[in-house]
Amino acid sequence: MKLNIRIKWPNDIYHQSTKIGGVLCRAIYEEEAFKIVIGIGLNLDNQSPTICLNDVVQRVSKGARSDECVGGYSSADNRKITREGLIAKIFEHYEALERDLKSRGFSELKHEYIKYWMHDSMQLSVVDDQLGAPALVKIAGLTDAGLLLAVDQYGSVFELHPDGNSLDMMSGMIRKKI
């Protein structure tokens, strides 16, 4: 069953054009090692002002075959996804991804990330507030470090960093933060 959950680079979670969550990561280098803190926020039950994950599941489940499953429940079962069940699924998936990331690096996992993102061949304007003039770029993928890769009309390649840019996908613009 397809829920049409997508990623808006680098860390927002969307259903169609509505944000339903996000992921925040912070890396700290301390005692000759990196320590990573990860926070995940998902709108599981709050229907207002937009949409919640349980609404998405219910809408999709109505059109599903009886043998399809979402969040551990069959479409014939009208129970909602629980916080506990969702957390268990997230940690189960996270542990497998973490093992792969440690053993193979991000470059091997890019295809998994890109499979769920919203930016295939998207055209955006990159605005540098200091230069003033926007440059039209086409999203070309991700670098092996997870940065957004874009190419302008002249073939110049840009690596866009999540901490230095603001992506307003709905207006098709990336603005450089100052």
DSSP the chain: ----EEEETTTEEEETTEEEEEEEEEEEEETTEEEEEEEEEE-SS--SSS--HHHHHHHHHTTS-TT-EETTEETT--PPPPHHHHHHHHHHHHHHHHHHHHHH-GGGTHHHHHHTBS-TT-EEEEEETTT---EEEEEEEE-TTS-EEEEETT--EEEE-TTTEEEEGGGTEEEE--
89 with 23, same domain?
A: yes
Query: Are 37 and 110 members of one domain?
Result: yes
Q: Are residues 60 and 110 in the same domain?
A: yes
pLDDT at 129: 60
Domain containing residue 12 = 5-115
Whether the ω angle into residue 162 lies within 30 degrees of 0, i.e. cis, is no
Bridge partners for 127 per DSSP: 175
Same domain, 43 and 87: yes
Same domain, 146 and 79: no
Q: Are residues 109 and 150 in the same domain?
A: no
Predicted TM-score (pTM) of the model is 0.76
Residue of 39, 55, 58 lying closest to 47 (CA atoms):
55
Q: Are residues 42 and 61 in the same domain?
A: yes
Residues 27 and 79 in one domain: yes
Same domain? For 98 and 11 the reply is yes
99 & 11 share domain: yes
Same domain assignment for residues 87 and 51: yes
* Judgement on whether residues 105 and 150 belong to the same structural domain of the protein: no
Q: Which residues of the chain have pLDDT under 50?
A: 66-68, 72-76, 178
Task: Report the number of distinct structural domains present in the chain.
Answer: 2
pLDDT in tens, 23-60: 998 889 999 998 989 999 999 999 888 889 999 988 88
